[in-house]
Amino acid sequence: MSRFFAGCRPRLLGAGWPRTPMLLTLVLTLAAWPAWAQWAVFDAANFSQNVLTAARELEQIDNEIQSLTNEAQMLVNQAKNLESLPLSTLSQLQSSTQQTQTLLAQAQGIAFNVQQIETAYASTYGSASSTASDAALVATAQTRWQTSVGSFEDSLKIQAGVVGNIPANSSAMSALVSASQSASGALQAAQAGNQLLALQSQQLSDLTALVAAKSRADALEQARNAATESQGQEQYRRFSIRKGYVPHDVSMFGE
């Protein structure tokens, strides 16, 4: 047994393997294995950075979309602010004002004119002339009376015209208030407000005409009374100096 171990010598690994071309081919194949066959390495930090960058880009895009939405809404609001009010009462107000002005222009006797008033007062409402005939004095008094009656008639006509405008003005006011409350933009609200101011101006114009007509009638009546008093004094003076009249006592009822 000792001889058996003594005759045995150690041999190198592979020293007894066959050296064939197949082995060489295997070694070369393993050495030339492509890079894609290697195991991929996952970079968590790089992945997190990419995700964060993508999230920021999405947030930026969302902000841009919101900004564009706000700009579009702003343009829509601007368009609403530029829309005109579909309701207009201007023609109606002008018609009412024209009717009142027509009634004022139809003033009888003495019109609302400074020059005509001066002429009338110089010829009709002044002091009674001492040289005018009795018939002329009576005719002048008749003219003054007719002028006063006509002025009162004019005042009543204007009152009726102003009262007749009330229903139309009330309807216009209701429509304008409703249009103002439902206005879709600043321009419509402003136009409704302007038309309400125009309606108020028209009503003030009617009130002014009414006061003017009433004041004219009162003034002409007062002037007529003053002129009548002056004429009465002149007629009494003439009567008192008439020749052929001798004052004396008069007995009545046989006393």
What are the tens digits of pLDDT across the range 135-156?
Answer: 999 999 999 999 999 999 999 9
Which class for 195: exposed (0-12), middle (13-18), buried (19 or more C-beta within 10 A)?
buried
Cα(255)–Cα(102) distance, integer angstroms? 66
CA distances from 166 to 30, 180, 201 (A): 111, 21, 13
Backbone phi, psi, residue 155, to 5°: -60, -40
pLDDT of res. 149: 93
> Tokens in use for 90?
């201007």
Count of all residues that appear for the chain in the document: 255
Please give the full DSSP string across 95-139, using - where no structure is assigned.
Answer: HHHHHHHHHHHT--SS-S-HHHHHHHHHHTSSPPPSSS-HHHHHH
Portion of the chain with pLDDT greater than 70, in percent: 77
Q: Judge whether residue 249 has pLDDT over 50.
A: yes
The answer, as to whether pTM is greater than 0.85, is no
The pLDDT-based confidence of 253 (bands split at 50, 70, 90) is low
For residues 130 and 246, the model is more confident at: 130
pLDDT of 6-27, one tens digit each? 444 544 444 454 555 555 555 5
CB of 199 within 8 A of CB of 174? Answer: no
HSE-up (13 A, CA, CB side) for residue 3 = 0
pLDDT of 46-89, one tens digit each? 878 888 888 888 888 888 888 878 777 777 776 666 677 778 88
H/E segment holding residue 248: none
